[in-house]
Amino acid sequence: MSRFDDETQIAPTGEGTWTAEISDEWNIGPNANGGYLLTPLLRAAREVAGQPDPFTVTTHFLRPGIGNKTAEISADVIKSGRTMSTVSASLSQQGKTRIHMVAGFGDLDATTEHDAEWTIPMPDLPDLDQCIDRRELNQGVQINLMNRCEIRVDPKIQRDPSVVETAEVLGWTRFRDEADPDVMALPFFADAFPPTVFTRLGPIGWVPTLELTVHVRRRPAAGWLACQVWTDDVHNGKLIESVRLWDSTGDLVAQGRQLGYLITGNIGG
């Protein structure tokens, strides 16, 4: 079992309820990474959905998650369908709801009578040995996440922010223990890269996620995931960041978008 699978396990406590032991090994500063925190919730949602694959995952982050603390999870089916079943689920710690998720589950292998297909090709990326491990970047905070998730970024991330015109990061990612990605891990990887707004502003503070939506498009092949993340809309301290993930065969496997909040200063609760 991979560390990701082991540290996102859930244990049933009743009908539609579970507990999960949230590890601090996926923290950014004192807080659990959002993509990691939503994964036990996603596992509970799949239990009640009766379908194998997340098609769409929308999560609202109400409060930071706490590492090394037990979480309580509840999940209910909103609508059960042949094509997609929709589930509402919440994760709480210390008596307070931390995140709430609505997810749609189906079967990625199911098809319709339509055979039209087009997609977004993977951008040109530097080879892995030309990229920089995220642990080598000056990030101003301890990131335990990097001991669990390997992220290698395009060296262009080190350019002087004053000469950068686009807030974009390209790179590669996988689990540090080299476990292969699966559909349940794609929402995590969609939230793992450093905030792209820092490429234009410098590492000036904290960018907590307020809302994250991920659309899973295909089952990922074994190996590294290629990633493109960019911010093209910043206003009044709030920003929109988008992400695309391709697997080792070049297939687009997931897309996502999140609403973030730019806070100058130290990471906090």
pTM of the complete model: 0.94
Identify the three-state secondary structure at position 141: coil
Residue 120 within a domain: no
pLDDT tens-digit readout, 229-267:
999 999 999 999 999 999 999 999 999 999 999 987 655
**Rounded distance, CA 48 to CA 75, Å?**
7
Eight-state DSSP code of residue 203: S
Residues facing residue 90 across a β-bridge: 74, 100
101 in Cβ contact with 88 (< 8 Å): yes
38 assigned to some structural domain: yes
> Is residue 119 in some structural domain?
no
11-15, 76-80, 178-182, 197-201: least confidently modelled range: 197-201
122 in a structural domain:
no
pLDDT, average across residues 53-68:
97
Residue 114 falls inside a structural domain? no
Range of lowest pLDDT (116-125, 160-169, 251-260): 160-169
Q: Is position 252 within any domain?
A: yes
Number of domains comprising the chain: 1
**Residue 7 in domain:** yes
Position 268 scores a pLDDT of 47
CATH of the domain at 144: 2.40.160.210
Query: What amino acid is encoded at 224 in this protein?
Result: W
Residue 166 is predicted with a pLDDT of 85
Structural domain boundaries, residue 151: 3-108+127-264
- What are residue 167's phi and psi, to 5 degrees? -90, 90
* Domain annotation covers residue 121: no
- CA angle centred on 71, ends 43 and 6, rounded to 5°: 50
